[in-house]
Amino acid sequence: MLIAGNWKMHCAAPPKARELAGGVAEVASEPGVQVAVCPPFTGLSAAAEALDGSPVHLGAQNMHAESEGAFTGEVPAGALRALDCRYVILGHSERRQYYGETDEAVAEKAEKALASELVPIVCVGESLSEREAGRAQEVVGRQVETALGGLSLGDPSRLVVAYEPIWAIGTGESAAPEQAQEMHAFVRETLEGQHGEAVGGAVQLLYGGSMKPHNAEALLSQPDLDGGLIGSASLEAGSFAEIVAVAEEVAA
Toward ligand PEP, which CB reaches closer, 163 or 195? 163
Closest residue to ligand PEP, judged by C-beta, is 231
Cβ–Cβ under 8 Å, residues 33 and 244: yes
Toward ligand PEP, which CB reaches closer, 156 or 170? 170
- Which residues have C-beta within 8 Å of that of residue 156, sequence separation ≥ 6? 195, 198, 199, 200, 201, 202, 203, 204
As measured in angstroms, the least distance from the Cβ of 216 to ligand PEP is: 11
Toward ligand PEP, which CB reaches closer, 44 or 199? 44
- Which residues have C-beta within 8 Å of that of residue 229, sequence separation ≥ 6? 4, 6, 89, 121, 123, 162, 164, 206, 207, 208, 211
d(CA 32, CA 141): 31
As measured in angstroms, the least distance from the Cβ of 172 to ligand PEP is: 8
As measured in angstroms, the least distance from the Cβ of 169 to ligand PEP is: 4
**Amino acid identity for residue 225 in this structure:** L
d(CA 5, CA 230): 5
- Which residues have C-beta within 8 Å of that of residue 92, sequence separation ≥ 6? 6, 61, 62, 123, 164
As measured in angstroms, the least distance from the Cβ of 173 to ligand PEP is: 9
- Binding residues (CB under 6 A) for ligand PEP: these are 6, 164, 169-170, 208-211, 229-233
Cβ–Cβ under 8 Å, residues 159 and 122: yes
**Which one from 30, 101, 130, 164 is the annotated catalytic residue?**
164
57 among known catalytic residues = no
- Indicate the burial class of 223 (C-beta count within 10 angstroms; 0-12, 13-18, 19 or more): exposed
Toward ligand PEP, which CB reaches closer, 96 or 195? 96
214 among known catalytic residues = no
Cβ–Cβ under 8 Å, residues 204 and 153: no
What count of residues does the chain have? 252
**Which one from 30, 57, 64, 92 is the annotated catalytic residue?**
92
As measured in angstroms, the least distance from the Cβ of 120 to ligand PEP is: 14
Toward ligand PEP, which CB reaches closer, 185 or 235? 235
Q: Which residues are catalytic?
A: 92, 164
